[in-house]
Amino acid sequence: MNKHREETLTQMRLLVSRALAENQNFISRLLPVMNTPTQRLCRALEELQAKIRAVQTMEAQVQASQLTIDAMFLLGQDVKQSLNDIALEDLKMKRGEEKDEAMDTLATLVTTFLERLDVIVASTVTDSRRDDIKAPSKCYALKSLTNDKCSQNPTKLSSASEDLHNASSDFLQHEDGKKIAETFGYSQAAKLPNGAVILAGMLGVDSAMNLAPTLDGQVETILNHVDAALSEAGEKPSDVYKVTNYHLSIEQSAGPVTAAWLARYSVKPTWTAVGVRELGVPGALLEIQVEAWPSA
């Protein structure tokens, strides 16, 4: 297998793994706050978990055909949009706004994601394995639950979901980023089963949740967080293959952050700069999100 093919397979597997981790995280986060999930949503979530298992089976068997490459990258884009839509409905449900309508919309969104995932399962698993990975009507982890029990017993469903979630990926915090992560309910880093590491977007906020007052100060704080989070996950900056920056002003901050990165690290990863209207902390000028793949 030539180097280009190996790199392509690595990128494809990372996309699948990231979609897998994000959707498992969504399920584990969603179910505990649901009082009486509708049967339709339960069925959709159960099938989603079954498809996640299918992706795990499929991941080691990816074939580098052009169809597969195109499908993988389309899935990566579709998943991001689906997760944004799902998060909005989840927020409505937590606030008690139009709960029944929100749950019905969630079921539709999950079903839509399943349709997109079908493209990947169909195009990347060899014919001899396809019968094995077709999603059953019930996820194996939830096979003891009927649809009626699902709507009556969200706690049991949540526990099964969390067991699958926790068995698949490690979610980590580093000390200086612990307070902001716990305040807003997320993890600083995820280490996936295949060894890939995905960091949350890092802001220029210190351990006491104070925002650095200058752009240079924010850049330095962010890179300190990147160092610490990678170290917590057992990786190093030379393992970074992708960086995404979110800027209030690309013209103002793209140059300084690139210069600071190159001054600190020798690695030159792939890089994407995105202009945004606002970030999660008022006054923040920049956010950096990093992905790493362990060295051989």
Residuewise pLDDT in 10s, the chain (296 residues): 455 555 555 555 555 555 555 555 555 554 444 444 455 555 666 666 555 555 545 544 444 344 444 445 455 555 545 555 555 555 555 555 555 565 555 555 555 555 555 544 444 443 333 333 333 332 222 222 223 333 444 433 333 334 334 435 567 777 767 777 777 677 778 887 777 888 888 889 887 888 899 999 999 999 999 998 888 888 888 889 889 999 999 888 989 999 999 999 888 888 888 888 888 788 999 999 998 887 75
What pLDDT sits at residue 82? Answer: 53
pTM equals 0.45
What pLDDT sits at residue 26? Answer: 53
Kindly give the residue spans of alpha helices, DSSP state H, lying in 187-296.
215-232, 250-264
Q: Which of 60, 111, 67 is nearest to 85 (CA)?
A: 111
What pLDDT sits at residue 124? Answer: 42
What domains are defined for the chain? 3-168 (1.20.1410), 171-292 (3.30.1330.40)
Decide: 5 and 66 in contact? Cβ < 8 Å.
Answer: no
What pLDDT sits at residue 206? Answer: 84
For the record, the structure tokens of 83 come out as 């997760």
